[in-house]
Each structure stands twice: as structure tokens, then as C-alpha cells.
Homo-oligomer: A and B are copies of this chain.
Amino acid sequence: MVVGGVAAGMSAASRARRRDPDLEIVAYEASSHVSYGSCGLPYLISGQVRRPEDLVVVTPERFKSERNILALTRHEVLAIDPWGRTVTVRDPSGSTFKTEYDVLVLSTGGRASRPPVPGADLTGVFTLRTLDDGIALLEYLRGHAPRRAVIVGAGYIGVEMAEAFRTIGLEVAVVEMLPRPLSNFDPDLSELARAEMERNGVALYFGEPLQALEGDVRVRRVVTPSRTLDADLVLFAGGVRPAATLARDAGIALGPTGAVQVTARMETNVPGIYAAGDVAEVHHLLSDRPAYIPLGSTANKQGRVAGENAAGGDATFPGVVGTAVLKAFGLELARTGLSTDEARQAGFDPVSAVVRHGSRAHYYPGGGRITVKVIADRQSGRLLGAQMAGPEGVAKRIDIFATALHARMTPEEVAELDLSYAPPFAPVWDPVLVAARAAVKELGGSD
């Protein structure tokens, strides 16, 4: 049985089917859709993805016919009884039933934070987490033709949605409690995102907590301690929390992050129950601690391992190094490993170097300059992380550092990598090599 059928859940179901053709597999999903790319929601709003169903990978019909998996939407699991191995489910008619499982994969995902401020339940106030959320927002945009959007939160979703709303011609303001956007980047990289958003006409208000939303039926104003902003659309983009209530109520142990504690086999503390995806913690290979980093790529990997093991296999998911990338208007921003703050919190003594270097040979047309920051541990000399921003060539370049982190390389070793070179794609000294060399110097070595 799978509880929650988006990325991790349906990966688990599919994997379990591949391993065991005879297993009976049912997946309950509270929303109206299973197996969709929720990371694509901003591009549904911007119009780059044309129809909500384009985000769906496999429909319930195809799960049934092609994989013999019963995927039931609008079926909410209300309770898990791990001793009796039963769950209580509410079906679309509103009636509830109990049903048994032998093995359960808990993949209830994350939920969007909804700040408890006055007016949070006005019409025109949205979160963007499920495909249902996306469809509701699209309908509001079509039905009410709002002109002024205020986004509360400047994390990944906040930044991506600022671009999406600008793309469809809205005035956009972003209100963020913290002093900068993308706060899991170092400040110098956040600053590049801030400048890019401003260049694209987004009004930015940092260090301002949300106090209230005002309006009649519809939202009309956003109030912070410093100002009142007109708004006819508000998006809460203040981050994602694990949807772990069901787990906690069932006696499944949560970790220090508030997400479900899991082993490398995706086992919870309760026999017969695995957890995967945005409801679960992930082992961070750099800090060697559990972390909460809800990402679709990780969800799929964890789901695969949970499904394999739920069907009697023995797979493991070693963990992540904290890699992430996003597009912010004309800028690609990426990070991997630990930021300077995270490195300090994990007990390292971080030093860093920042370079700006071309994405292509200096004479080849197009391209631009990439900012690369490399973070290393003064003590051990080990690479701890890297961050990048630039108009192109950032997304997959960060993966060089991600791979180097998995291999526990030093900046010196990164500086000696045999990376691809041709004028349309890189300068003869790739920005990665230049940045690694600068970090070697910071560590006290010869540059």
C-alpha cells in the first residue's frame, strides 16, 4: 500500500511492481491527481506548460492497464494503525473505510506553509504545491484577471513564481521576512538573484514579516510592519514542511527536522512501514546528519528504494550532497554541498573563493560570465560546497562539484579535472577549474 501518490509514492509502486509481478498494489492519493511533476507548476502558470495534464507522467488508467497498480485519487488516508496493519480511508463520497496492508510506503509529501495571519483565508490567496493548487490558481487568473500579485517568500518557489507572474504580465512584489532571497545560498549569490529579479521589474521587500492580508471577500492588501501593498492575488511561498501528521499520529518517529526518520533502506521505526519523498528526512553526506531537503529528484530516488524494499528487495539510498538548481529569469542559479552557514553549523571551518569567468571561449559569440563560489574546509582541506550563477552553463556545471563531493575530493583535485573544452561550450580554463584553483590558494596552497 502506498499512501500519497505523487513522485515518491508512484515511484515506489512502479518499482515494487517491477520487482514482483504478483504483488497487489494500491495507492491512495488525497488530491485529484497522481504521478505528476509538481516542480513544473510555475511553468504551468507562466503558460510554458500548456495544460495541467501535461505535467502528469502516468494516469491512474495507465497505472491500472499497464502496471496493474490501483491508484485511487481523492482518497485520503485519515489514520494508520501499525499494530493492526490497517488504514482508515475517506473516499470521494466522504464515507470512510478500513483496509489492511502488509507493507506500507508513506509518501504524503510536503505541505506549503500558510502563515497564521488575519485574512489568510480570503479569496485570491493561494499556495502552490499540488496540481489541484495549480489548477485553482489558473482558474483564478482566468476568472478574475488580477493585475497585482504579492508573493510571500523568496525561496525557490517564490523566485520561480515571480518570473511566472511577470511572464503573464502581472505586477509582482515579493515580501520576505529574511534579509535576502534564496537564503540557502551564500549572500553574494543571493545578491545576484536579487539584482536579476529587480532588473525584471519585481518589487522586493526584504526583512519584512507578513502581518495581515486585508480585503472584502477577495484579498486587496498585504500588510507588513513597514508598508501596505495593493494586491489582488497573494501567493504563500514560504517554504515546504513535511506532511507528517499522519505519521506522527501513527507513532512513526520524526527526526530533528520534523520529517520522518528513515534508514538508508527507507525504513521508519515501525516494522512494515517505509517512508520516502518530501515527508521524509534525507541523509546529508557532507554534514553526515539528517536533513530536510524536499526535491523531486530525491523523492524519486527514495521512492524507488522504498518500493524495491517493500517488495522484498534490498536497496539503499546513501544520501544527498544538497544539489539544487533554479532558473530566475535570465539567470541560472545552482548550489551543491554546504553553504558557508551550513558548513559552520556542521562544525567545519569554511574558507571560500569566488571567481567570475566566461561560459564560452572569449572569442565565441553569446554566453556570459559565470560566478563560481567554492567552499572548503580549512582544517581538512576538503571541498565542502559550491555555488554558481550565470546566464548559461550553470545547471550541469554544478554537477561537476556534486560528483566531486560524492568522491570527497579536495579543491586541488577538482582543479586537475580533465573537463570538456570546445569554444562554444567553455573557455580553455573552465570556470570550475579557475574557481577550484582560487580555493586552493585560499587554503594556503600554491595557486
Contacts and interface: CB of A to CB of B under 8 A. Distances in A.
Nearest to A39: B423
Contact of A395 (B403, B406, B426): B426
Contact of A425 (B315, B319, B395, B402): B395
A364 B296 CA distance: 15
B422 A327 contact: yes
A65 interface: no
A325 interface: yes
Nearest to A318: B416
A216 interface: no
Q: Which of A315, A321, A409, A416 has the most CB of B within 10 A?
A: A416
A361 B402 contact: no
How many identical chains are in the complex? Answer: 2
Contact of A399 (B325, B336, B399): B399
Q: Which of A40, A296, A418 has the most CB of B within 10 A?
A: A418
Contacts of A406: 407, 409, 413, 416-418
B418 A315 contact: no
A contact residues, range:
35 or more
A39 B295 contact: no
A43 interface: yes
The list of the 8 closest CB pairs from A to B, nearest first, reads A407-B407, A395-B425, A297-B421, A325-B420, A403-B403, A320-B418, A396-B396, A54-B363
19 contacts: A39-B421, A40-B361, A40-B423, A43-B364, A57-B362, A296-B428, A297-B418, A319-B418, A325-B421, A325-B422, A325-B426, A393-B396, A395-B420, A397-B399, A400-B402, A402-B418, A403-B407, A406-B413, A406-B418
